[in-house]
Amino acid sequence: MDITLNVAILLIQIVGFGLAGVVIYRMTQEVGALNGTVTAQAEALKTVGELNKVALEMARLIEKNAEATVEDARRSLQRGRPAGGHQAALPGHGGARARLERLDAPTARARRL
């Protein structure tokens, strides 16, 4: 009986070492997969940072353009041009109110019904 007990303990230890090896192997695979995920997330964050820089540059350019437009309008007013003088220079802006009223007419008729 002593030998049977020793053999059983030996078999349990062998199975335990085998299972421990499997667990270690699977954990190594999981760590590798996590490293890949972290690398992908780092690349995504880098790309988002670059996109933010581009968006900031575009906002600055738009702001400069707006400032130049306002300054141009201010100079035009100082030269004595009438306040509505800008609209004549922009095609399609004359009569905008009349066009809006024409577009709104079918809606107004539908509301009355």
Task: Give 98's Cβ-side CA count (13 Å radius).
Answer: 4
Distance between the two ends of the chain, CA-based, in angstroms?
Answer: 103
What are 33's two structure tokens?
């997969």
Give just the sign of the alpha carbon dihedral 52, 56, 58, 59.
positive
Q: How confident is the model at residue 7 (pLDDT cuts 50, 70, 90)?
A: very high
- pTM of this prediction? 0.46
Q: 50, 25, 83: which is closest to 58 by C-alpha?
A: 50
Q: Is the pLDDT of residue 108 over 70?
A: no
pLDDT at 102: 62
What are 5's two structure tokens?
């007990």
pLDDT digits (tens, 9 = 90+) for 56-102: 999 999 999 999 888 888 888 888 765 554 444 445 555 555 655 56
User: Cβ(76)–Cβ(85) under 8 Å?
Assistant: yes
pLDDT at 90: 47
DSSP secondary structure letters along 79-109: TT--TTHHHHHSTT-TTHHHHHHHHHHHHHH
pLDDT digits (tens, 9 = 90+) for 10-61: 999 999 999 999 999 999 999 999 999 999 999 999 999 999 999 999 999 9
